[in-house]
Amino acid sequence: MIYSNGNFVAIDFETADYGPDSACSVGLVRVLNNQIVSRAHHLIRPPRRRFVFTYLHGIAWKHVSGEPTFRELWPSLAGELKGAEFIAAHHASFDRSVFMACCHAADLSPPAIPFQCTVRLARKVWNLRPANLPSVCSFLGIPLKHHDAVSDAEACARIVIEARRWRSS
């Protein structure tokens, strides 16, 4: 499915703490026919004020205290995901767990869209190891501001696009 010509959305979450329901930022990048057609970034007010990962992403409670909760943001997120064949994420198990935990905590039903992992894709297509996001981006020449949700999501989208081109050449 990852090599179809349809559309997909690349996603990246940043979390405030170790709880998967603590999303504090999300980046979404939509791709249609191997072209990025939209980018979106949202700050999210997590359920707890405690931030453990500010040192990674630079987001603290003061940045999100006035932002919408995941539940309040959901109509916008659902609209941005509408029609996607799949959701691409680097270490998809992490982003999927955050997505599902946030939906569960907000008493929302997540859309039945499969997740595809770009770590696995990079290992399969280019046999890359390590296949962390900075390494894959360096290999492919993709610009990256790591732990910025929209930059990470765009890098993920570009990995899928490059894999499609690589496979078709």
Q: What is the mean pLDDT of each run of 10 residues along the chain (169 residues)?
A: 70 98 98 96 98 98 98 96 96 98 96 96 97 98 98 98 88
Q: What CA–CA distance (Å, rounded) separates 139 from 15?
A: 27
**Count of the separate structural domains present in the chain:** 1
> pLDDT at position 5, please?
56
Whole-angstrom distance, CA of residue 144 vs CA of residue 86: 22
Has residue 11 been placed in a domain? yes
Write out the residue range of the structural domain in which residue 56 sits: 7-168
CA-to-CA distance for 16 and 65, rounded, in angstroms? 12
CA distances from 117 to 25, 56, 58 (A): 19, 22, 25
pLDDT of residue 167: 82
CATH of the domain at 38: 3.30.420.10
| Residue 2, domain member (yes or no) | no
Instruction: Tell whether 33 is covered by a domain.
Output: yes
Task: Report yes or no on 74 lying in a domain.
Answer: yes
Global pTM value = 0.95
